[in-house]
């Protein structure tokens, strides 16, 4: 099989299982994971290479490469290997992978997931880790072989940034619904689940306020929040100030298997995402698809790519962003109607099977790789 580089600066982050899931479902190409640093273990039997080796000089080497985009450190890691393609995840990675692709004389495929298509230029330039992206984005658009977008919403944003329409496609990563058995109704508990990085874009504070509005009516319901991030302490303080105490449980970041276990017990998943002041918007939200595969209905904001994964009044409910009253009302609708939860959960599972099957979507991806390689010959 031809070897393909899966390029992500921060490899194997607990919040990004979808990158590995897609790569491990390849059948005609063999993934080689390449990045700056490892944040977790590589998949069993997979090959991974990272610049960070734990030594004191590693950070200096990473800093130099971050500023210069010099592909030589990565080229040294790849010595003796002959990959056919580089597949970069996120536009920032695409900008850094481009010099390496040119040095190796192989095509570059870039997948855009969300913030790399929506975050303002000013916000990108304010971060040393991201500032090269807006500076070299035009080069990526001109020289990259193919641009894949996690939703049609993201594709529209990427086209607005000047990427070529003919080489920019919508491609859902999908989920492995065969590995997720639909939950039995007896597994359900009186739990509202929220799985997200605790940052402004996820709208967690609006969920806490909506839960507070329902707390007296539903004394047996609890809110479970899985994830970590810069707003965690502020959100914990908000929950305490609203008198919610132990009814809001902050569990921190959890392994993917633990997230799925909590999902099986949830009455619903809620993702009240918002557009931030920096322009950041939800690209789609893989957790929505995993909830659907489990048979769990969703309440989410009608924003970004979310409506592509949640069908309003069929697989869940969509509400206006930042609208606490509407959010509370739809959570109330689901809590008070077990038959509706069951019906929506079943329809959500059917949607995932039909539209977001990871095997089908990965086969489409491999066909994209074939297309790119045939054009490069």
Q: Band the pLDDT of 55: cuts 50, 70, 90.
A: low
Mean pLDDT to the nearest integer, 120-128: 93
Rounded distance between C-alpha atoms, residue 250 and residue 269, angstroms? 15
Give the helix/strand (H/E) hosting 96: helix 91-104
The tokens 């995840």 sit on which residue? 89
Residue 23 pLDDT > 70, yes or no?
yes
Residue 66 pLDDT > 90, yes or no?
no
Rounded distance between C-alpha atoms, residue 77 and residue 338, angstroms? 55
Mean pLDDT to the nearest integer, 90-94: 97
Mean pLDDT to the nearest integer, 44-70: 81
Residues 223 and 344 in one domain: yes
Query: What is the secondary structure of 103-155 as a DSSP string?
Result: HHT--EEEEE-SHHHHS-HHHHHT-TTTTHHHHHHHHHHHH-SEEEESSHHHH
Residues 71 and 220 in one domain: no
Residues whose CB falls within 8 Å of the CB of residue 354, separated by 6 or more in sequence, listed in order: none
Mean pLDDT to the nearest integer, 183-212: 96
For residue 196, the domain's CATH number is 3.40.50.2000
Rounded distance between C-alpha atoms, residue 160 and residue 318, angstroms? 26
Phi, psi at 7, each rounded to 5°: -105, 120
Residues 168 and 288 in one domain: no
Return mean pLDDT, the chain: 95
CA distances from 189 to 171, 277, 329, 341 (A): 34, 36, 20, 12
Residues 9 and 130 in one domain: yes
Closest CA to 114 of 281, 279, 289, 228: 281
pLDDT for residue 213? 96
Rounded distance between C-alpha atoms, residue 269 and residue 240, angstroms? 22
Residues 181 and 268 in one domain: yes
Rounded distance between C-alpha atoms, residue 189 and residue 254, angstroms? 19
Residue 342 pLDDT > 90, yes or no?
yes
Residues 348 and 264 in one domain: yes
* pLDDT tens track for 233-288: 999 999 999 999 899 999 999 999 999 999 999 999 999 999 999 999 999 989 99
Residues 242 and 351 in one domain: yes
pLDDT for residue 14? 87
Residue 252 forms beta bridges with which residues? 226
Domain enclosing residue 83, as ranges: 2-174+357-376
Under 8 Å between Cβ of 230 and 300:
no
pLDDT for residue 51? 87
pLDDT for residue 285? 87
Rounded distance between C-alpha atoms, residue 91 and residue 112, angstroms? 6
pLDDT for residue 56? 63
Rounded distance between C-alpha atoms, residue 243 and residue 247, angstroms? 9
Residues 112 and 161 in one domain: yes
Mean pLDDT to the nearest integer, 57-67: 78
Q: State the total domains in the chain.
A: 2
Rounded distance between C-alpha atoms, residue 340 and residue 350, angstroms? 15
- Which tokens is 227 given? 């994830």
Residues 204 and 313 in one domain: yes
Rounded distance between C-alpha atoms, residue 335 and residue 333, angstroms? 6
Residues 144 and 74 in one domain: yes
For 45, other C-beta atoms within 10 Å of its C-beta total 6
- Which tokens is 246 given? 């132990």
The tokens 């810069």 sit on which residue? 230
Residues 55 and 162 in one domain: yes
How is residue 263 annotated by DSSP? H
Residue 59 pLDDT > 80, yes or no?
no
């Amino acid at each position: 099989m031809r070897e393909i580089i899966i390029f992500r600066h921060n490899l194997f982050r607990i919040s990004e299982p979808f990158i590995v899931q897609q790569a491990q479902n390849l059948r005609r190409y063999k993934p080689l994971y390449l990045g700056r640093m490892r944040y977790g273990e590589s998949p069993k039997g997979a090959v991974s290479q990272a610049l960070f080796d734990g030594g004191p000089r590693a950070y200096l080497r990473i800093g130099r490469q971050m500023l210069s985009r010099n592909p030589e450190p990565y080229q040294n890691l790849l010595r003796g290997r002959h990959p056919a393609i580089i597949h970069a995840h996120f536009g920032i990675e695409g900008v850094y992978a481009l010099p390496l692709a040119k040095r190796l004389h192989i095509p570059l495929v870039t997948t855009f997931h969300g913030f790399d298509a929506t975050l303002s230029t000013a916000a990108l330039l304010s971060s040393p880790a991201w500032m090269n992206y807006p500076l070299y984005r035009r080069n990526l658009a001109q020289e990259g072989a193919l641009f894949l977008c996690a939703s049609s919403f993201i594709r529209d944003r990427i086209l607005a940034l000047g990427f070529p329409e003919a080489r920019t496609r919508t491609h859902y990563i999908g989920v492995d619904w065969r590995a997720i058995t639909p939950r039995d109704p007896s597994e359900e508990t009186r739990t509202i689940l929220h799985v997200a990085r605790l940052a402004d874009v996820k709208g967690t504070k609006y969920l806490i306020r909506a839960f507070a509005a329902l707390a007296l009516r539903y004394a047996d319901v609890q809110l479970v929040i899985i994830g970590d991030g810069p707003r965690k302490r502020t959100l914990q303080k908000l929950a305490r100030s609203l008198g919610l105490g132990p009814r809001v449980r902050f569990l921190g970041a959890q392994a993917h298997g633990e997230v799925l276990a909590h999902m099986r017990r949830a009455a619903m998943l809620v993702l009240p995402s918002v557009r931030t002041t920096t322009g950041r918007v939800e690209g789609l939200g893989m957790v929505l698809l995993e909830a659907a595969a489990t048979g769990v209905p969703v309440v989410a904001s009608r924003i970004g790519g979310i409506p592509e994964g949640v069908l309003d009044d069929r697989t869940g409910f969509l509400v206006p962003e930042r609208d606490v009253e509407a959010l509370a009302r739809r959570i109330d609708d689901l809590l008070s109607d077990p038959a509706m939860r069951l019906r929506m959960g079943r329809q959500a599972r059917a949607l995932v099977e039909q539209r977001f099957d990871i095997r089908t979507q990965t086969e489409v991806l491999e066909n994209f790789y074939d297309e790119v390689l045939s054009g490069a010959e």
